[in-house]
Amino acid sequence: MGTCFSIEEEPDRSLSNPPDGGHKTSASSRNQEMANSPITKTPSFIALTAKDVKDLRQNPGYSNVDIFSYQEMRLATKQFRPDYILGDGGFGVVYKGVIDENVRPAYKSTAVAVKELNPDGFQGDREWLAEVNYLGQLSHPNLVKLIGYCCEDEHRLLVYEYMASGSLEKHLFRRVGCSLTWSKRMKIALDAAKGLAFLHDAERPIIYRDFKTSNILLDEDFNAKLSDFGLAKEGPMGDKTHVSTRVMGTYGYAAPEYVMTGHLTARSDVYGFGVVLLEMLLGRRAMDKSRPSREHNLVEWARPLLIRNKKLMRILDPRMEGQYSARTAMKVANLAYQCLSPNPKGRPVMNQVVELLETFQTKARDEETMINSGGSGITLYEAPSKSSPHSGNPARSESHRETSAAQGSKLENERSKSELPKEVDLYDPPSFEAEEPTKG
């Protein structure tokens, strides 16, 4: 798990790691309609947001969020039974529970995850309230559903839908039996990207600020949703380019310009997305002190290799071997490379990321089908091209030309807004460059 950090004047507001396994949410039949409904947005957060707990109590809430008593929370979790614990962290403990007619008369039985804030922990009322404010107003298939909260006396609890498969972190970094195929990883990446794009597209953009594998939760069908909005922040408005804020987050995931200056933009989230995409490609953690020293920081070690030929194939997660084509892997690696650009303006916007991943996912499904059926039309590992150092990229196939032309005309304006560097084309990465033969 990443090491969390906070550079601030208020030491009691620092961030802690999420619970082991990341079970912060849950899937309930009560909220299944939300997953199939159109995306909804709130016009603004300014008029509706409670400024503190006292304000929340006086203006108790949002129409789609239930307010529970502490006694109801005790009943839902069987008196907070130890064997109901899903995980714990600096903020407190997360319990699995059920809210039904035994908890509240006529309440439809709903599986939930109950997060109880530890009053002596790293998170305080500010982070707890941020989750109520944001998730109380937002509704999207790729954001975890906040069912309700408890704010009675000193007690602070949040009630989420239960996510049966736990966190991406749990599945991606398990030592044995990883069930995340290439196509599943691409689907999870797309779901998470859609969640971020939704936040960034709000009337006043919302910067998530804590994008990492432990905050991406999976339901029983491995649909991904973003959880834990304690560090979410409203983005810049008007002619402002950034918001200045205390530096908080997790080592290895936070954008370098944010760590250095405290200047926060939506592209800070794009960097975090790039880190997670890199973790999914390689099956390695963003920070891992158990590896050789030069490999401790995954981005510093692996980013230069993402646009190299055989080196990329050597570092991809071996548990996915045979599930993808070299061409598709190269495209996804190139996307991660761009998201991790040290220059924020060199990163794509999340809408671009979504569109590209949708294309990759379609191709991945087709490739997996062909591979499973024993089709011979897929080249799993392409030989590197032997072009000279001064030659351009090899000619593209006619079908690829047509695809690129269609995408290029549609996305030209968005690309110019992103100010992508010319060294690597986001939509048509260069072919692998040939490595020098090993001597001896």
Annotated catalytic residues are 210
Nearest partner of 118 among 89, 138, 141, 96, judged by Cα: 89
HSE-CB at 165 with a 13 A cutoff on CA atoms is 18
3-state secondary structure of 61: coil
Q: Which two tokens mark 306? A: 């993402």
Nearest partner of 150 among 80, 63, 67, 54, judged by Cα: 67
Strand-pairing partners, residue 160, are 113, 146
Q: Which helix (H) or strand (E) holds 99?
A: strand 92-99
> Is 115 annotated as a binding-site member?
yes
The CA angle 233-237-241, to the nearest 5 degrees, is 90
72 phi and psi angles, rounded to 5 deg: -65, -35
Nearest partner of 228 among 154, 158, 311, 141, judged by Cα: 158
Residue 105, Cβ density class (10 Å: 0-12 exposed, 13-18 middle, ≥19 buried):
exposed
CA distance 334 to 321: 19
Alpha helices in 107-174 (DSSP H): 125-135, 168-172
Alpha helices in 174-265 (DSSP H): 182-200, 256-261
CA distance 126 to 233: 12
Q: Which two tokens mark 368? A: 């997996």
Strand-pairing partners, residue 5, are 249
Question: Do the Cβ atoms of 218 and 167 come closer than 8 Å?
Answer: yes
Give the neighbor-by-neighbor strand order of the sheet with 224-226: 166-167, 216-218, 224-226
Name the binding residues: 115
Name the binding residues for ATP: 115
